[in-house]
Every structure is written in structure tokens, then in C-alpha cells.
Structure 1
Amino acid sequence: MIEYPNFLNKIFEKLENNGARAIIIGGFIRDFLLNIDSDDIDIEVYNVSSFEKLENILKEFGSINKVGKSFGVCKLKIDNFVLDFTLPRIDSKISSGHSGFDVKIEKDLDFITATRRRDFTINAIGYDVVNKTILDPFNGINDLNDKTLKMVDTETFIEDPLRVLRAVQFCSRFNLKMDKELFLLSKTMIKQNSLCELAKERIYDEIKKNLLKSTKPSLGFELLKELGALKYFPSLALREKQTWYCSMHALDKIVQLKTTNDKTNEILMLASLCYDFNSFQIQDFISKLSNDKEILNRVLVLVENLNAIKSFCLNSFNDYDLFKLSTKVNIEEIIILSESLYGLGNNIKKRAKELNILNKQMPAFLRGRDLITSGMKPSCDFSDILEDAYEAQMHGKFSSHKDAITWLRSYLLNHQ
């Protein structure tokens, strides 16, 4: 028996009353068999003549997202669950790219034929919700038990190059070994530059899943290296053995040290991949993955300040050093990166906590309004005075707003 959310039974009952047959398939079944919680549920619906009829059956259960209509898919969100209802179809590759498929919806298609278009045997396991039976025409359960990733069909596999990257992240996330036939075909597709037809956003989606969902993301990057896929990232491909090893070790270490924020963890892992790059190499590497300027800027800042943390740990530092560092980078993040790469940073973390600057810089006691209150008229000198005041504050010249005002009076007298 496959357990699924109870609210689905009302939907399944209505589908059955309309002569439809519902089969849960794909990642939800795979994850259930692996004892992994999942809130994405794919449901293939047979014996429904059109997308419009499926939509009419489902509309009472919530607002339907029609974004996948051309592929016979409608999405329904209930509570925290995302439901993808699909109609059985046959996909034929007619041109390059994600949308280069001729899609034919066939309501009477048998389960085996409909499932043959899927990528891997572990994603082709179905569950008939009426008969309460598991459907496994391609022996995906055996492959799960053997911890082996196999493709369903060679001909359909090569139609979507993204499946090569999906194979990599599945092997990494679920600790699977790639079947020899799948490995050789993936290597050939990469050699033939098949990945070049993919948008970088699609490539990065798969890489990001490897980074954020794997307990040992280095497995995915080692596999990319074996397959020859690092040619798409020249700076990584040219890495010396020691720096490559250091990056891989850091990736896995960040899994243990990571924050509760996925975006931050993503950025930390990317920074660990290019910790020894110069700014040009970092920009080149990130630009091949994403146009997100936040990612690029935060990675640049982390790598640029990594040597400072390493120097503090190996030599000495004072409070001013930490105050100054906190104006440039999030100290907790740079410490996680340093710990993952060098095993250094605990002493700095402790002192940054005591100074209350672990995740923010020290707030300035002196503000522009204080300059106006002192009798000054707004001018371009304000920024220089406030900068000097903050430097004095970081050096411990004053530690309260009252003392800052006293410092300001003395400063103005000396700069008349």
C-alpha cells in the first residue's frame, strides 16, 4: 500500500464517477518507497477525452493553473501539496529546446506505453488508487533496492538532454550508481554537445537540486567530471587536484553547517566551488548558471573576504577588525565558508556573537540628524564626518549616543 493524503480520495472518487482512472506516478511514489516526505504528487488520469473535461472535473477542488496545458498538465495546489494532473500522451521530438516536442494526448493509451516516455525506471512506478496495486512495468522497485539508476527507454531518453543532469542529481541525492548503459549514453550526449541546447536556467535548476537536496553534493560534481560535463565550466575543469578536492570537501561540509535559508546555502556552496577564483573567473562561472545579480554579488563578497578570515584565524585579530569585516560581509556566512574549507573560524564566531555583529554590522550611534541638531547645514561633508564617526566608534572611542555627541563636538572644534 502506498500512503497518500486523505483529501485526495474525494478527487479520486469524482474522477472514478466520471469514468476516469487515476494513477499516482513518479517522484511521490519513489520518495515514499525511500521513506522521504514529498509534497509534490503527479497523478496520471486515463479515460478522459480532453484537458477541458479534466479541468471541469477538478475545478471544484481549487484554482487550476493551466500553465502546462500544451503538455496535458494542470496544476492544483491544496494546503502544502502541489498536484500535477496529467493525461497520457506520446511525445515526439521535432526540434531542439524544451518546447520542441509534438505532444499527442491519447486517453486510451495503456499504462506501459504512456510510461515509456518517462526518464528513469525509479520514476516510472505507478499506484492504481482504485485497485490499490503498484504498477511497475520497468522494474523500478528492483532498481531502487539495488541502488541503481536506469533509463526507461534509450530512444526517448536522448530526446531531452536535461535528463543527463537529472541523472546526475538523482545519483547524488539518493546515493545511486549509474547503470553502465546510462553512463555511456550520457557521456556520448555530452561529447556531442547536447547540453548546449538547454537554457542555463534549466541546467542550474538541476545543479541547484544537487546542491540543496543531497547529503553529499560532491558525488554529483564528481559524476559531472567523469562524464566530461565540466567542459561547460572551464574554470572548474582546469582546477588542480588539491583545489578540486578542497572544494568537494567544502561542499559536503556545508551540508552539516548550513543555515535555515536555502538561498544562503546555495550561495555558500557556489562560493566553495570557486573559492580560489579571481573576480573574472567567478563572474564567468556564475553567469553560466544564473543571471541573478544577488547570487553573483554575494559570492564575490564572500570569496573576496575569505583571506581576511583565514588571516585572523592564523594570526590575531581585534574587535576593530571584526567591526570592519562586518561592514563588508555577513560574518556568520564567511565563517561557515572558512570552516568548510579550512576548519577555521570558531574563535571569530564566538567573539562576533559577543559583539552582536554575527549577522549584521554595528549600528551607528551618530546620524545625519545629529549633525543638523549640532547646528550644521546639510552638505557633502556629512558623509565624510559620519564615516569618520563610525571609524571612531569601531575603534572604541565612544559606545553610546551621548558619548558620540561629545565626540562630535570635539571633532568639529578640531576641524574648523
Structure 2
Amino acid sequence: MPLLSTPPELIKIANAIAKSEGRSILVGGAVRDHCMGRKSLKDFDVEIFGISPEVLESVLRNFGNIHAVGKSFGVLKLKTSSAEYDFSLPRRESRTGKGHRGFMVTPDSTMSYREAASRRDFTVNSIGYDLLTKTLLDPFDGLGDIKHKILRHVGPAFAEDPLRVLRAMQFSARLEFKIAPETVQLCKTLDLAELSKERIFEEFRKLLLKAKRPSIGLEAAKILGILAYFPELKALIGVPQDPKWHPEGDVWTHTLLVLDEAADLRKGNEKMDLELMFGALCHDFGKPLTTEFLQGRWRSPAHDVEGVAPTEQFLRRLTDDRVLIEQVTILVKEHLRPIQLFKERERINSGTIRRLALRVRIPELVLLAKADYLGRTLTDEERKSFDAGDWLLAEAERMNVRDEAPRPLLMGRHLLAMGMSPGPEMGKVLNEAFEKQLNGDLQTEDDAITWVKSNLPNLSNLAP
């Protein structure tokens, strides 16, 4: 295995720590990713053995600014002119109550690396790398589990924090590893009810933004017993679909396929990617409520609209982010529109698309609709294009509403300048003008002003 690439600056810091009798061990994702042959973009986390917190802090001050936000837990963040590093001392933890704050933490730099690593979650995350001897420390055979693509808990300390069940979910997807049977059994015994929504949300965020195939994590959630806490997800299992349109199987299977397709459509904008991914996860939440066998076929009438309430319930269990909740519920409600409008394109007027742009960002909606379209059993030829999305984007571009909602051409200031007094009548005129604009009858500001003059001749001309 090639040597782990580390910044020369970090080696200088490790040498300075060694002069004070300390030992610097790189830990966490950077080491795991190196052992997997992946290029790590993670920050460097360094665990320091053999010296006190005070000595460590005095050494680090020679290299940059220290942020002691986690000092009481033995954690110091060093910001140099070129990078940021997290330095920590090994610590002993004892359970004092429920939740992630229910621990008494005591830094103890005299611990052995094996003892310190025994408190980590998974063996693949327990591997260390000595920055000066350039050797790997692997007390729990994390390398063996990497070789066999197994996610296995390190030891009994795993059970002290139920969040690790959700970490198993997201890591199984991000690493594309199978979860060891004994880890699955242990996870099933842990109570997730004590976890805060903020901590739960963070694990879902990592799953949806970092995994190439988030479906692996959702299947893991099913096995680990996580779905018992998320009835909206559990309800998707076994809900039938018309095999003509969904030969892939039930709504759960379809949702997993859509989730992976959406992951392939992420753009690198975290906010929009998260809205897209949650939209993909929740888009068919209305089907368990609406699916019935009608006229010889399984149908789910109005499942888009009926999916709004369970989507909101699910998201409120994860976050208080009102903007995220609003955007995702809108995507769920509108996710069928691109294909519906495409089928009716010869009969609809341009106002339909302009009004759609008032409700939702069309490019984002098209991404979700495309993931929904691709998330089923298709031929290679059918997968080459998404005609409905291409058509809608082109139409929105032609109407100048692709990237932003239409803005009213006629404003209150225009009517004031024409002599109209503020009040309900002004509101009626503005609303009527905007409706005509959406229908395509008014194209420019001059069109809108001309319309007002012709319909309200008692108003004076615009002031110069």
C-alpha cells in the first residue's frame, strides 16, 4: 500500500509534538479512504498521545490560531495559513444519562491506541496512521473488513450511542459495504427515540449527499429496524404498482431506484441537491394512501397531492428548516407535472407553464421528474432521453421563466402615476393585469400600460 499523502506542514507539527514527547496518529475518514484506495477530501483529524492538553496547546500555538471550542473534551482546532486541522486527545467516556450529552468525558493521553480506538464505531474507522513512522495501526482488523467490504462494530461501546445505527445506514451506502450480522443484531436492540432530530437529520444528509447509491442505505435501514421510526417510509413496502408502467415492482423498490437516479443528477449545490434528494425519497408518499385496483389496473389517483401531508410529517421529524420542508413538499406535489404537460402540450396554453414557474423552480422539478422516469425498468433506448423534461425546459426558456418566476409587468407605482389611489381597486387591476401577462396577452411593460389606459380611460396619462 502506498504511503498516505499528508501536508508537509502537518509533518512539521507532528515533529514539534514529538519533541514534547507526544505521538501524532492520523485517524478517521482520511485513513479509511486511503486504505480503500479513495482520494479523501476530508479534513485531517489527529489524535495525540503522551502529552497533556496544556502542552499540546502550547505547541500548536506556534503554527497558527487555535479555536478551543471542544477544549473541555480534549479537542483543539488549528487554523494555519494553508489549512485547518483537528487535534484531540484520547478520552474516557462514562454514561451518565440518555442522549449524546449523557456522557462524562475525561481526556486521558496515557491511553494506548488500542484502548482509544476501542470506542470508535466501526473497525474501518478505527485504523490509525502514525505520521512520523508512516505505519498503520489496526488493532481491530479494519483492513480485513475493508478487503471483504464488511461494516462491523468495534466493540461494546458501540451500544452507548444509538446514533450509530443511523451511521451504519449511511456508511453502508457511502462505502457500499454489507453490515456484519452481529452488528445488525446489536443495532436492533438500540432505541433511536432518544436521538435529537438534528443528529438524525445529519445522518440522512450524509446518506443523500455523499452516497453514490443511497438505496443501499435505505435497504440497510429496513434491515436495521430504522423504518419503525419512520412510518412514511415503511408504508411504501409492498404497495403494488401497475406492472405496465412499473415492472420493477412495488413503490419501495421504485423509490430506491429513483433515489439512485437522483443521486446521479446532483449538481454539487448542497441546498438544491438536498431538496432534490428528499424530493426523490418522498415523491410517492401519497401512494400508500391512494392505491387501489380500478378497472383491472393498480392506480394511485392524486397521489402527488396526497403525498404532501406525509412528506411534511416525515421532514418535521428530521428538521425545523422551513425552507427545505416547503421546497420538498412543493416538488412532491408537482412531480408529475412535466410528463402531464408534455402529454397535453397541444392543448395547454402558455399560461400553464408560467403559473407552474410561480410555484416551483422548473429545472429542479425536471431533475426530480427525470429521476422518477428513469427509476424503473427501461430499455437502453428509453433511457437515452427524457423528452418531457427537455420540452418543458425549452418552453420555459422561450417564456423567460426557466430560471426565475415571472415578475409582474404592471406595478402599483404605474397606477399611482396615472392617478389611481391605493386600495382594493388597485389590487384588482394589478391582479387582472398579471393574469393577462401569465396568459401571454401582455408581453412588455408598455403592453401593460396600454392595456390599463384602454380599460381605465378615466385615469390620466403616465407622468413624464
Is 1:281 aligned with 2:335? no
CA distance in 1, matches of 2:54, 2:195: 31
Q: How does 1:7-406 map to 2 (within 5 A)?
A: 7-34=9-36, 35-49=38-52, 51-78=53-80, 81-153=83-155, 155-189=156-190, 194-239=191-236, 240=239, 242-276=250-284, 277=286, 278=306, 279-316=308-345, 317-343=348-374, 344-406=388-450
Deviates more, 1:55-64 or 1:257-266: 55-64
Q: Distance in 1 between matches of 2:323 and 2:47?
A: 38
Change (3 A) 1:311 1:251: same
> What is the alpha-carbon distance in structure 2 between the residues aligned to residue 77 and residue 358 of structure 1?
42
Query: What do residues 72-104 of structure 1 show as CA deviations (whole Å, max 9, x unaligned)?
Result: 111223467442211122222232110212223
Letter of the 2:334 counterpart: N
Question: How far did 1:314 drift?
Answer: 2.6
Q: Using the alignment, how far apart are the partners of 2:422 and 2:173 within structure 1?
A: 58
C-alpha deviation, 1:173, in angstroms = 0.5
Amino acid aligned to 2:413: R
> Contact (CA 8 Å) 1:41, 1:81: kept in 2 or not?
no
Tell whether the 8 Å contact from 1:88 to 1:106 is kept in structure 2 after alignment: yes
Stretches of structure 2 that go unaligned for 5 or more consecutive residues are 241-249, 287-305, 375-387
Question: What amino acid sits opposite 1:269 in the alignment?
Answer: M
Structure 2: distance between partners of 1:330 and 1:145: 44
Amino acid at match of 1:6: P
> Please, which runs of 5 or more residues in structure 1 have no aligned partner?
none
2: CA distance, partners of 1:311 / 1:413: 42
> Partners in 1 of 2:141 and 2:401 — Cα distance?
55
Most deviating of 208-217 and 260-269: 260-269
Secondary structure at 1:74 match in 2: strand
CA distance in structure 2 between the partners assigned to 1:385 and 1:55 by the alignment: 68
Cα distance in structure 2, aligned partners of 1:262 and 1:146: 32
2:292 alignment partner in structure 1:
none
Q: CA deviation at 1:294?
A: 0.7
Amino acid at match of 2:151: L
State, as a whole percentage, how many aligned pairs show the same letter: 37
> Does the CA-based 8 Å contact 2:68-2:76 persist in structure 1?
yes
Q: Distance in 1 between matches of 2:138 and 2:454?
A: 82
Taking the aligned partners of 1:246 and 1:410, their CA distance within structure 2 comes to 55
Query: Which structure's residues are more often helix, by fraction?
Result: 1
Cα offset for 1:65? 2.4
Verify the 8 A CA contact 1:172 1:220 in the aligned structure 2.
yes
- CA-based RMSD of the aligned residues comes to 2.0
Q: Give the letter aligned to residue 105 of structure 1.
A: P
Is the contact made by 1:282 and 1:300 (CA closer than 8 Å) also made in structure 2?
A: yes
Change (3 A) 1:57 1:322: same
C-alpha contact (below 8 Å) 2:419/2:459 kept by paired residues:
no
Structure 1 pair 112/216, CA: closer, same or farther in 2 (3 Å)?
same
Q: Does 1:412 align with 2:446?
A: no
**1:39, 1:81 within 8 Å by CA — same for their partners in 2?**
no
SS in 2 for 1:61: coil
How far, CA to CA, are the matches of 1:146 and 1:306 in structure 2?
A: 40
Does the CA contact (< 8 Å) of 2:165 and 2:224 recur in 1? no
The residue type paired with residue 330 of structure 1 is: R
| Rounded Cα–Cα distance in structure 2 between residues aligned with 1:319 and 1:6 | 60
Q: How many residue pairs get matched? A: 410
CA distance in 1, matches of 2:228, 2:441: 54
Provide the rounded CA distance (Å) in 1 between the counterparts of 2:316 and 2:205: 14
1:79–1:121 distance in 2 versus 1, CA, 3 Å? farther
CA displacement 1:84-140 (0-9 Å, x = unmatched): 211122222232110212223222211111111111111111111111211111111
- Report the TM-score, using the length of structure 2 for normalisation: 0.84
Q: State whether residues 453 and 459 of structure 2, in contact with CA within 8 Å, keep that contact through their aligned partners in structure 1.
A: no
In 2, the alpha carbon distance for the partners of 1:320 and 1:266 equals 29
Q: Distance in 1 between matches of 2:79 and 2:263?
A: 30
State the shift of 1:342 in Å: 2.7
Amino acid at match of 2:425: D
Distance 1:349 1:140 in 2: 48
- Work out the CA distance in 2 between the residues paired with 1:237 and 1:167: 18
